[in-house]
Amino acid sequence: MHIVVLAGGIGGARFLVGVRAYARAVGAEVTAVVNVGDDLRLHGLKVCPDLDSVMYTLGGGADPDRGWGRVAETWTVKSELAAYGAEPTWFGLGDRDIATHLVRTTMLDAGYPLHAVTEALAARWQPGVRVLPATDDRLETHAVVSGAGHDVDAPPTSTAEQRAIHFQEWWVRYRARIDTHRFVFVGADTATPAPGVLEAVGSADVVLVAPSNPVVSIAPVLAVPGLRQALVEAPGRVVGISPIIGGAPVRGMADRCLEVLGVECSAAGVGRLYGSRRTGGLLDGWLVAEEDAATVVPEVTVRAAPLRMTDEAATTAMVRAALELT
């Protein structure tokens, strides 16, 4: 059995812990196709937040409280950069984390594609699943906003001028509290799926859409040309797991992202945004939380199960429920 998982960062990583446990129990193979829309260059280093969340979490090196970055992290380099007044100051890189970015950047600059670099980094972390970036190419999520570039504590609510800022600036610096018109995936017109991605989707017995942010984690994966079509044509079933429980994201600001799209922050809203595979959308099945059991998504099989990823056993039970839906 081959399970493919479309994933973002923290939600995707935690979900993958359950997928891996399930796969180990039944002898299945797992491929994670991970969002690269959050990737950015900082202080000359290439940072891939979602790939790193997946790698550190599955490799046992993630900070369990923060959810991102390395456990037992220290911040000496960050404070030294601040002493120089080096921008940007709104994104902190931890000392341990920086080693990952140094290795990655060196390999990329030497000409290795991102999927090969990801594989090399995984040799250390042994994530237990195959981790693929959705694309080796630049595909960056930007937010089109008004009023950016002003004091972060008092962003003006409107100016006529619109400009695009990197998703990380929108999320980390402005905490999504800025007039936002839409998201764009820069580079999506020319990107191609990373080697192995289309083959994985084409050979999967089931594709699971992790309970990741639908707007800025899953949508950029689907924006890679050819990937959405491959999912529509995939021989296996496609089942999504709702990241929204009882009308709220469990953590993070997915509600702000959905608001930008004008999509209701609910299991039904996200399910309908993904849509039925029978009508050109993504899903055959949609797993929602028990409190959302009344959710209806046209032409999609909806089932309810406990969806809080409190520990590995609970997450594995979620995976089992999603697979039973097929």
Q: Interface residues for ligand GDP in 289-318 (CB under 6 A)?
A: 307-309
Nearest to 316 by CA among 28, 64, 52: 28
Q: How remote is the C-alpha of 75 from its chain's centroid?
A: 25
Nearer to ligand GDP among residue 88 and residue 247 (C-beta): 247
CB of residue 7 to Ca ion, shortest distance in Å: 9
Task: Tell me: does residue 240 bind ligand GDP (CB under 6 A).
Answer: no
240 binds, among ligand GDP, Ca ion, none (CB under 5 to 8 A by kind): none
Q: Rule CB under 5 A: which of 18-57 touch Ca ion?
A: 38, 50
Please name the helix (run of DSSP H) or strand (run of DSSP E) that holds residue 132, with its range, or none.
strand 130-133
Q: C-beta of 159: minimal distance to ligand GDP in Å? A: 28
Residue 136: C-alpha distances to residues 104, 139, 176 (Å):
13, 9, 27
Query: CA 309, CA 35: separation in Å to the nearest integer?
Result: 20
Q: Which two tokens stand for residue 68?
A: 């991102």
- Any contact of residue 254 with ligand GDP (CB under 6 A)? yes
Given the complex with Ca ion, which of 50 and 179 has the nearer CB atom? 50
User: Strand order in 140-146's β-sheet?
Assistant: 162-166, 140-146, 180-186
Find residue 30's DSSP bridge partners: 3
| CA gap 74, 34 in Å, rounded | 27
Among 31, 53, 266, 316, contact with ligand GDP (rule: CB under 6 A):
53
Name the one residue in this structure whose structure tokens are 């990197």: 166
AA identity, residue 102? L
Decide whether 121 or 241 has the Cβ nearer to ligand GDP.
Answer: 241
When CB distances to Ca ion are compared, the closest residue is 9
254 binds, among ligand GDP, Ca ion, none (CB under 5 to 8 A by kind): ligand GDP
249 is a site residue for Ca ion (CB under 5 A): no
Out of 31, 118, 135, 217, which residue is the one contacting ligand GDP (CB under 6 A)? Answer: 217
Closest distance to ligand GDP from the beta carbon of 258 (Å) = 9
Cβ at position 324, least distance to ligand GDP in Å: 17
CB of 243 to ligand GDP, least distance (A): 3
Beta carbons of 77 and 93 less than 8 angstroms apart = yes
Strands 285-288 and 248-249: unpaired
Number of H helices, E strands in the chain: 12, 14
Kindly tell me which residue out of 3, 4, 6, 11 binds ligand GDP, with binding defined by CB under 6 A. Answer: 11
Using CA atoms, how far apart are residues 173 and 282, in angstroms rounded to an integer? 32
Q: Does residue 12 interact with Ca ion by CB under 5 A? A: no
Q: Which of 144, 152, 250, 261 binds ligand GDP (CB under 6 A)?
A: 250
Residue 9 makes contact with ligand GDP by CB under 6 A: yes
Can you list the positions of beta strands (E) in 37-80?
Answer: 40-42, 45-47
> Which of 12, 127, 220, 269 is in the footprint of ligand GDP by CB under 6 A?
12
Rounded to an integer, what distance in angstroms lies between the CA atom of residue 179 and that of residue 175?
Answer: 11
DSSP 88: P
Q: How far apart are CA 231 and CA 140, in angstroms?
A: 21
266 is a site residue for ligand GDP (CB under 6 A): no
Question: Applying CB under 5 A, does 9 fall inside the site for Ca ion?
Answer: yes
Rounded Cα distance between 85 and 251, Å, is 32
Contacting range for ligand GDP; rule: CB under 6 A; set: 95-103, 148-156, 205-213, 225-233: 205-213
Round to whole Å and give the CA distance between 127 and 61: 10
| Minimum gap (Å) between residue 266 Cβ and ligand GDP | 12
Binding-site ranges for Ca ion (CB under 5 A): 8-9, 38, 50
Q: Catalog residues that contact ligand GDP under the rule CB under 6 A.
A: 7-12, 50, 53, 211-213, 217, 242-245, 249-252, 254, 307-309
